[in-house]
């Protein structure tokens, strides 16, 4: 398997959420606002198809998955 931009987005979001939850547990519960922001960003992106993170990942050289779609 190769890393695609879509998998990279899922990896980045899940790492951010888990890391921020751990930091909130050990330091301050105010940090729980950050994983909520990540979740809201993913929710909004599902409807608008606008992902800032995807542009960053594509800029790093990751390619989109072609998952059998027709053009």
Would you say residue 46 lies in a domain?
yes
Q: What's the pLDDT score for residue 63?
A: 84
pLDDT at 33 exceeding the cut of 80 = yes
Would you say residue 64 lies in a domain?
no
- Reference 5, options 39, 45, 32; nearest CA is 45
Would you say residue 68 lies in a domain?
no
Domain containing residue 13? 5-59
Q: What's the pLDDT score for residue 49?
A: 81
- Quote the number of domains for the chain: 1
- Residue indicated by tokens 């888990």: 18
Greatest distance between any 2 Cα atoms in the chain: 49
Question: In angstroms, rounded to a whole number, what is the distance separating the alpha carbons of residues 52 and 4?
Answer: 16
Would you say residue 50 lies in a domain?
yes
Q: What's the pLDDT score for residue 21?
A: 92
Phi, psi of 5 (to 5 degrees): -65, -35
- Residue indicated by tokens 């990942």: 57
């Amino acid at each position: 398997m190769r890393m695609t931009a879509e998998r990279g987005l899922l990896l980045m979001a899940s790492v951010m959420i888990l890391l921020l939850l751990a930091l909130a547990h050990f330091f301050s519960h105010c940090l729980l606002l950050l994983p909520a922001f990540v979740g809201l960003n993913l929710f909004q992106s599902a409807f608008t198809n606008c992902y800032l993170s995807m542009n960053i990942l594509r800029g790093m050289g990751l390619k989109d998955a072609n998952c059998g779609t027709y053009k």
